[in-house]
Structure 1
Amino acid sequence: MSSDQVYTFQFISKDTSLSVHILFTSVIDIQQAKIEKLEVVAVGKSENIESVQLSVSTHKDIVKVCQKLKYEGKQLKNLTNRLIELFQTNGKSDDFMEQLIHYFNGKDNDKIKYILNQVISQAAGNSKPDIQFFYTIVERSKLNEESQKDIFEDSSLEEKNEDTSSQPASFETKKPVETLEQFIPSGARVIPMKYVLSPVSGIQVNTLKPGDRIMIQLLKSDSSSQSIIEAMKLETPEGQIRPLPGTVVASKNNGVENETVIQIGSDVFGKIYEEENSIKVRPYSGEKPILIGEKSSGSKSKTKMSETSEDSGLMITILIALGVLGISMTAIFSFLF
């Protein structure tokens, strides 16, 4: 298969019981088995997305709908952010992507729905959504093409304004919400993390800039993050995760919302979303985390030194006592004989 060919994969998930409705689109590099690009939005009302026809929509069509819903303030921010985080993480997971592409090739639609439901449930709780999806192989050169057909089943939804042609241009040019995926190299691991806060002397999150060094804490949310925590020996015997320094790669403010990409290793990245720009994060001041093993080793060393000192003192006391006893016995024998 040509390296110029990619999968475009999009789905609509509707869970009326939870009032959670999701629109998703992605571009998948078939050779690398990685998600190159993705856009997703979660909304509370199904009418915002249910009329989208996936079979006639290009990747760019769905991206524009997602951005429009975000611009209009119709998205469920926390859920949208969580979904972006999960799909980015899974999109760089060899196991997940090889499995997904295998199901694509075998047209195993039930298995595709199953793994999508697993990711959605991680973000939205115990969800049992109705999932519709569409995937196809396209030439990479056609990714920026838009459908010549109306991607909505009912065109009246788009014709409320007489000048409909100006509507796409308005949100296309403003682009109020942009992901920072381009700052995360292909093949890098993306793991969940959070800021270490410092309300008094910290750096306000909306002033973060590339190159800033701040303290973050990794989160144990999946096997990938758990393996990194174990490799870096960040977990204490009590189960707490020690903070570590990270470098800000990129940061963007969208109104009151902040999105920051942070790097902690050559191929380990994280993305943190924060809806309060007023919070302050702890800067890295050069301190070196003290490992528990080092503390216990030092403690053992001190204990051994103390024990040695006590043993030496006891030996001296015994020798003095024996010396005094010897002198006394000599004096007694001299007096008697």
Structure 2
Amino acid sequence: MPDTPNYYSIKVIVRDETNMVYSMLAAVLDPVGIRTIKFEGVASGSPLILLPVKSTFQDFYNRTQRVIYKGDQLKNITKSIHEVLKSSFNSESFLEELFHYIDHNLVDRIEFIFTQIHNRTAGNSNPRVEIHYELIDPADIEKTTIDEEEIAKKEAPPVIVPTTSGFIIPPDKQLIQFRFQLSPVNGTPLSELKGGDNVFIRLLPGDPITNAIIESLELKEDSGNIKQVPAKIVNISNSKNISEVVIKINEQVYGKIVEEENSVKIKTFDSSAGAAPVLTSPASITAVRKAGQPQKQKDSEDSFQIMPFIVLLVLIAAGMIAMIVYL
């Protein structure tokens, strides 16, 4: 291995069309010290997250962080990827094997390694793997070549909102922001869902109403993640690859979303497990507080009205005791 102060930057794209899992992996490796400087990885149910494989490590890192921040990652698979990468990139024998393949340009062997990592984290399949590696100066680790906002605009397909729905959410209902909980392996394609089906969603914090409902339903975990909740599809309409879906999580809380890909697989409630759970908690913190105020006020008024009778009874009792003592 050449004695060089440079690092290897390796980027990997994995496209698993069978399971609808799309992954980005990247690492900066020190071939002299046989160590890992940095690594990152994320998996999603959408190919729109993927960057060109020749982007820089920092480009991959920035995109990964944005995907996680937006909640577009497949959480369990992403967690597994991090665990496997941590174990692998901290193994000297793994790094020596990888450096050997890189130095001898054995791309097929490198592809095999990352295919195995994918199969360990996302299930056995025959994914398409793209790899690019290069020597970089340590000072260039944080070099970027991509404007994330500009890339997001270019990758986003034009949104065609279906106009055939005609469904109107009642004006007295709370309207929340949400995303469907995806299940690439066992989920139901969005195009096959219908009104009355029970699905799982995750609320997206940001607006006052959604934030209040997340708090009132105690959906935020200590880690900061938002718990999934059951919801019922009220109405769904399709137009080409676009679907407009209206859901409700209880009688007061509704949501509406336009999905730009009908083939995504949604996590549904298994009817064999019994009746679908229904959230019956108050619609929002405001509702909880407003509901509690009249009762407290009523209790206070009742106490105030009863007090004179209590005083009168005490006086009568005192008088009777005085008469008995006198007699």
Instruction: State the TM-score, normalized to the length of structure 2.
Output: 0.46
Instruction: Give the TM-score normalised by the residue count of structure 1.
Output: 0.45
User: Computing the radius of gyration over CA atoms, which structure comes out larger, 1 or 2?
Assistant: 1
